[in-house]
Amino acid sequence: MKTKLGFLTEEGRTRSKNAFRRFCAYAVVMFLIGGAGGYVIHRYWISTTFSPLQRMYFKQYLKSSYRSYLSRARSHYTILIRTVIDPKTKKEVRLVAQDDEITLEMDEFGRYQYDQRHYPVVHLRAGIEYKQFFWAEIIVPDLAQYEWFKEHMYEGRSIPDIWRPAWLGALLIFIFGTIALTILDAVAQRLYLKGEPIRGTRELSPKKYARERRREIGLTLKSYRQGSEI
């Protein structure tokens, strides 16, 4: 028998638990799909907007970003350097190479070439002054390096700012995907229960009973008494 408080019955609680389990399963599935979607957005949209140096420094920027929260933390970083002679002091001065000063060596498939130390092979453009040109390995505070990357290489954008299209896309995929699967599940369950065989008695209004039994002209009953059929 259906009641207004059917969700408090044993059958109602069982159905609610099963529905919640299915919802959690859908949420997990859409979480994985949303994560994959965020990665695709980063790989084929965000990364394509990076300059060569931004692409090469991104892993180090990511490391400096989360390590910057650690007090007094210091880490190893690799920066592309060119040195010049200061005309005033006549001393060798280090300058960080910029995107408009370099060209990267690539193969026929457009992939970066790497040297024996697994650093990208980079060349200075013609006309750029230098005495030495190399990848410098430094150990500096993570917070200082994070701020340097942010201001000098990523135009003041933090990691969440750079990843905004990716995490927004992943969030939308998760939310709308979970809602869509939940609605689809509810429709499927309703259609299933609509065709479920009747078990036990049901409370029907006269109109509903007449509609369901409109093709029947009567009921046949059998009664047995002392072995004889009436």
On whether both 67 and 151 belong to a single domain, the answer is yes
Confidence of residue 6 (pLDDT cuts 50, 70, 90): low
Same domain, residue pair 109 and 127: yes
Say whether both 58 and 152 belong to one domain.
yes
The verdict on 142 and 81 lying in the same domain is: yes
Average confidence (pLDDT) over 103-115: 82
* pLDDT surpasses 90 at 14: no
Task: Identify whether residues 146 and 122 lie together within a single domain.
Answer: yes
User: Are residues 86 and 105 located together in one domain of the fold?
Assistant: yes
116 and 145 share one domain: yes
Q: In angstroms, how far is CA 215 from the centroid of its own chain?
A: 56
Within this chain, do residues 143 and 175 fall inside the same structural domain, yes or no? no
Q: Count the domains in the chain.
A: 2
Domain boundary (136, 158, 180) is at: 158
Nearest to 96 by CA among 128, 70, 72: 128
Which of 89-103, 128-142, 164-178, 210-224 is predicted least confidently?
A: 210-224
Measured distance CA(78)–CA(5) in Å, rounded: 66
Residues 120 and 148 grouped into a single domain: yes
Distance (Å, whole) CA 145 – CA 150: 8
**For the segment 157-189, what is each residue's pLDDT rounded down to a tens digit?**
999 999 999 999 999 999 999 999 999 988 887
Q: Domain span at residue 115?
A: 52-158
Q: Name the residue with higher pLDDT: 217 or 75.
A: 75
